[in-house]
Amino acid sequence: MKHVNRLLALAAFAIGGTAAFAQTTVPVVVGAPEKDIVISKHIYGHFSEHLGHCIYDGFWVNENLNVPKKDRIRLDIVDALKKIKIPNLRWPGGCFADEYHWRDGIGPRKQRPVMINTNWGNVTEDNSFGTHEFLELCSLLGTEPYITGNVGSGTVEEMSKWVEYLNFDGVSPVTGIRKQNGHEKPFNVSFWGVGNESWGCGGNMSPEFYASQFKRYATFCKNYPNAQLKKIASGPNVDDYRWTETLMKEVPSWLMWGLSLHYYTVPKDWGNKGSATQFDEKEYFTTMQKCLYMDELVTKHSAIMDKYDPKKHVSLVVDEWGIWTNVEPGTNGAFLYQQNSMRDALVAATTLNIFNNHADRVRMANLAQTINVLQALVLTDKEKMLLTPTYHVFDLYQVHQNAHQLKLHFASPDYSVGDQKIPAVNGSASQDSSGAIHISLVNLDASKKISISALLPANAGAKVSARVLTAAAFNSYNSFDEPNKVVPAAFSDFKKDGSQLAVTLPPISVVVLTIQ
């Protein structure tokens, strides 16, 4: 700590030395690579539930829709997601997972039974998008599937046979069915969620009861050659620390690869969440204040996990996160379709910085959700498709995937509204396998530029490049009439002098710098 304080003092001196000057320019020290801490690419995962138009009319479209597709998988969306290198995709839910029976979604499509989606609007689904279609989508995306099994209304045998169907390369009744359905070799799916929100829509269970259920289900979900399972337990809702304590105490770490955490940023309250685009600075500020609460949640849940798992074998998996607002006027309230503004981009960038900085424990996360639902990356309207500001954050931040974590040491100035204040600046940094350093910085202040003076490691490269995502207002968004209103641009408001890097962050901005 003394070493860090000395570096901070040197940085402050390098940018002017006076207290008054230091108040307007933030000294930042970029630490050396953390030896064994890698920012897992799986932090940048996504979530696609059978909800609204995420699957149907999202990934899976009518055969007559005039867009490029393979079978009924929409390829312009596939291409957009490949560009940002999504590492995993969670399916089929969400609450839907605990009413989904996988055998209904295999075999000839015309012979598949229909089902009622009781969680999301009581719509009738034809099960045309099932296990094989999902895994074909993952293959096209070049991403790893993350399947959530049915604990709430299913059985141990049902989930066990799903694992066998997908992963066993031998002779059995279910592998024979898989081969009849056109897939001779196993899919080798490693990531498995054992239920979803078992404290709520997944069964309203107590943590003690769920811990017992997890051990039963996990025991009968077998490892087969080339498919060692990463079993993820249904973890706590927000700040239910007792749930985490119980699971970590009752479930051995060798049986549980990960423990999930769900937290949504709700601008107002659950009765009236607030508009996605019509809000003032006070509501914007409150939203970012709630977004920053993720850091406290991750810190406190991680501390409990450390108590029982000091070597950090169990990953904290934040497999549902994002901003949740009221649906767009005139849309189905059960379909959770919301617009996506610059505020959403700042929520995404800030949250990803938090995960990057906790990469010793957070090794997987899934934004909710990929298309047309909640904080989506992509919105569609028949043939039209647009990329949201949130998509562009994931594009900028892909440089952190599987890079070594670097610590940023700084004291942020305050961003104040009324008598409330939050840190105006947050950030994270990494060094990739080529030696390039990547620094992502977020300025939440709605009106003020903030200057940064970063002291880089001695071996940092000489060349600096940067991109910025910002907008005229925090509620600016991309529409089908103006799909490129909020997009990344080249950024040049920086200057490097030796190991010192001076950067000026615009208001409401996300800046990613690369030093190589």
Residues 364/40, Cβ–Cβ less than 8 Å: yes
Whether 136 is catalytic: no
**Which of 99, 320, 383, 482 is flagged as catalytic?**
320
Q: Long-range contacts: 196-200, Cβ < 8 Å, 24+? A: 196/93, 196/94, 196/95, 196/97, 196/98, 196/148, 196/151, 196/152, 196/234, 197/95, 197/234, 197/237, 197/262, 198/151, 198/152, 198/234, 199/234, 199/236, 199/237, 199/240, 199/243, 200/237
Kindly indicate whether the domain formed by 40-401 is annotated with CATH number 3.30.1490.190: no
Predicted confidence band of residue 394 (pLDDT cuts 50, 70, 90): very high
Q: How far apart are CA 57 and CA 261, in angstroms?
A: 29
Domains 2-37+405-515 and 40-401 are alike in CATH topology? no
From 92, 176, 169, 87, select the one nearest 130 (Cα to Cα).
Answer: 92
Q: How confident is the model over 114-163, as pLDDT tens digits? A: 999 999 999 999 999 999 999 999 999 999 999 999 999 999 999 999 99
Known catalytic membership, residue 320: yes
Nearest to 401, CA basis, from 512, 494, 482, 297: 512
Largest Cα–Cα distance in the chain? 76
How would residue 24 be classed by pLDDT, with cut points 50, 70 and 90? low
CATH homologous superfamily of 2-37+405-515: Golgi alpha-mannosidase II (2.60.40.1180)
What confidence score (pLDDT) does residue 64 get?
96
Q: Give me the pLDDT at residue 267, please.
A: 98
The active-site residue out of 49, 99, 197, 283 is 197
CA–CA separation, 234 and 264 (whole Å):
16
- Cα 160 to Cα 154: distance, rounded to the nearest angstrom: 11
pLDDT tens per residue, range 466-495: 999 999 999 999 999 999 999 999 999 999
The residues spanned by each domain of the chain are 2-37+405-515, 40-401
How many Å apart are CA 55 and CA 323, to the nearest integer?
20
